[in-house]
Structure 1
């Protein structure tokens, strides 16, 4: 069994020899934009009455400004009619479903490509299409289930929300229970994301259904807590590092910020995403005995 540091190092070497592993993430972004732009145009046409809310009302600084903004929003929405509101909701739901399906297809494809790269040391687009077509529907359902499990944590906010006074602005002491609920929800969501991090990999690598993949991820976490936590922290640190670079230049007001923001976004999509996907795939395959290290000859 590989140590986590050795696993990260070997994963980096495999990624360096298979730069095509970025293809699913690039295609996912492109297809998502092709889906998003028409819906955005439809929203712009359907929600035209809300244009009456100018920048001044959106930058409200006092309770009176906020109440005025809310009343203007209520008037704008009521003037739209139920048909327009229902249409907007249906468009939003359709957009989210399509984007989720696109994400599920290319996520499954990325895992399939990572498996091929680990087993044969070379990957190609055929494994992406094969894995995507085979597993995208189950992965879509698994994503919905995991989202519902996360939303279930919102019950932690209910006690604090019920205790809030109806007058604005509320007293500082009245916000205590709500803030405590928010902190508990964040901790719950982070813990759940850690425990379910391997669900997509279990689903694709072991050909499981949505519920079985979630159970497999929970079981994997139970026996590999340290490795999952370390890899999760490594990926999180790299992601935050890229964001901090972009934020630092934004705060300095440099003219190079737009270009740097584009570069960091591309690095995240074309380097960090395929690399972290490869690490997670190798971790699951190694710990489950799917990847036999003795049969994979090291290049050094």
Structure 2
């Protein structure tokens, strides 16, 4: 059943409103990630701000120069442990996020097919797809990192960074090449994100392997360029609007800052997950429910 882009937005919105519980996996993912990163910064703080005698030093009693010197000294002494902790937190957070993302997509799939979903759908989909989605996330990250080659010419042209700080005018051409490299890498990231934007949905909905999901997303993008671009633009636009509202309120407004921080996992992520799921399924010819038909059915109440 093929639906036009406007129909996907309309019916996807009604599906989301009927199934607000799709926010649960995203809320849990955000909470776990917050705990992990807080724990990481506490451990790093203990490593960096602990003196040789074992006592913890209060950063408020130090000058900026002393804080920077202590941070650098702590980082140098604990380089291996710092990298290990950073990598461990990143991988564990990515794995946990993969579980909840797979669960959310599973809920969005069930809601798009039948009109309703529950936590059981999250548990089933998460347990079935977590590891494969985790591998797909790592592959996508590696593909994005390939774009770092755009920075190599500029980095070579700049040469010694300390000399650049002392005499910025001496490496103006190198800086120009570096800026161009950053722009090219940014464009590369946007293009890759567009082409692979449906890899997670393909993996969960069709239960594909990581490489197959990436190739399916690429093929889907090539066959539906405008729809994928408009959906990606719509998704990014919602995030930018939310961030703009937070900045407009000012850094001193803690209430607005908390609300804008809460909105993405509670509203934006589940809503756009339903839209992406419906777009993928309708372009694949899957049978989806029509919210207006379900509402007009007396047995549905």
Q: Shorter-chain-normalised TM-score: which range?
A: 0.7 to 0.9
Residues 141-164 of structure 1, C-alpha deviation per residue, up to 9 Å, x if partnerless? 000000000000000110011001
Q: 1:77 to 1:120 in 2, by over 3 A?
A: closer
**2:43 maps to what in 1?**
42
Deviations along 1:58-111, one digit per CA (max 9) or x if unpaired, are 99xxxxxxxxx6x87655544x2xxx3322221211111110011000000000
Task: Determine if contact 1:24/1:110 at 8 Å carries over to the other structure.
Answer: yes
Per-residue deviation, residues 109-164 of structure 1 (Å, max 9, x unmatched) = 00000011111111100000100000000000000000000000000110011001
Deviation at 1:5, TM superposition (A): 1.0
What's the RMSD between the two structures over aligned residues? 2.5
Matched, 1:193 2:187: no
Q: Distance in 2 between matches of 1:9 and 1:133?
A: 31
The residue aligned with 2:282 is 286
Look up the match of 1:92.
86
State the partner residue of 2:15: 14
Q: Does 1:56 align with 2:57?
A: no
Change (3 A) 1:58 1:287: farther
TM-score by length of 2: 0.86
1:168 corresponds to 2:164: yes
Q: CA deviation at 1:10?
A: 0.6
Aligned mates of 1:293, 1:14 — CA distance in 2:
9
Deviations 1:251-295 (A, max 9, x none): xx6x5x210011112222211110000000000011011234689
**SS of residue paired to 1:217:** helix
> Contact between 1:286 and 1:293, CA under 8 Å: does it hold in 2?
no
Tell me if structure 2 keeps the 8 A contact 1:49–1:77. no
Q: Say which SS state the counterpart of residue 289 (structure 1) adopts.
A: coil
Question: TM-score, with normalisation over the residues of structure 1?
Answer: 0.87
Residue 212 of structure 1 is matched in structure 2 by 212
| Structure 1: segments with no counterpart, 5+ residues | 60-68
Q: Is the contact made by 1:32 and 1:99 (CA closer than 8 Å) also made in structure 2?
A: yes
Relative to 1, partners in 2 of residues 1:73 and 1:261: Cα closer, same or farther, differing over 3 Å? closer
Q: Distance in 1 between matches of 2:173 and 2:239?
A: 36
Match of 2:260 in 1: 264
What is the CA–CA distance in structure 2 between the aligned matches of 1:33 and 1:223, rounded to whole Å? Answer: 38
Q: Distance between the aligned counterparts of 2:26 and 2:126, measured in 1? A: 12
For the Cα contact (< 8 Å) 1:22–1:271, is it kept in 2? yes
Gaps of 5+ in 2: 52-56, 297-301
Match of 1:108 among 99, 102, 109: 102
Distance 1:173 1:258 in 2: 43
2: CA distance, partners of 1:22 / 1:295? 19
- For the 8 Å contact 1:119–1:296, the answer to whether it is kept is no
Distance 1:294 1:129, change over 3 A: closer
Q: Aligned pairs, how many?
A: 282
Aligned partners of 1:282 and 1:291 also within 8 Å: no
2-structure distance, mates of 1:112, 1:57: 51
Matches within 5 A, 1:112-127: 112-127=106-121
Match of 1:65 in 2: none
Alignment partners' CA distance in 2, 1:55 and 1:107 = 43
Q: 2-side partners of 1:73 and 1:295: how far apart?
A: 56
Flag the structure with more relative contact order, 1 or 2, with Cα contacts below 8 A and sequence separation at least 6.
2
Of 208-217 and 289-298, more deviation after overlay is shown by: 289-298
Q: How much does 1:37 deviate?
A: 3.1
User: 132-141 vs 86-95, which deviates more?
Assistant: 86-95
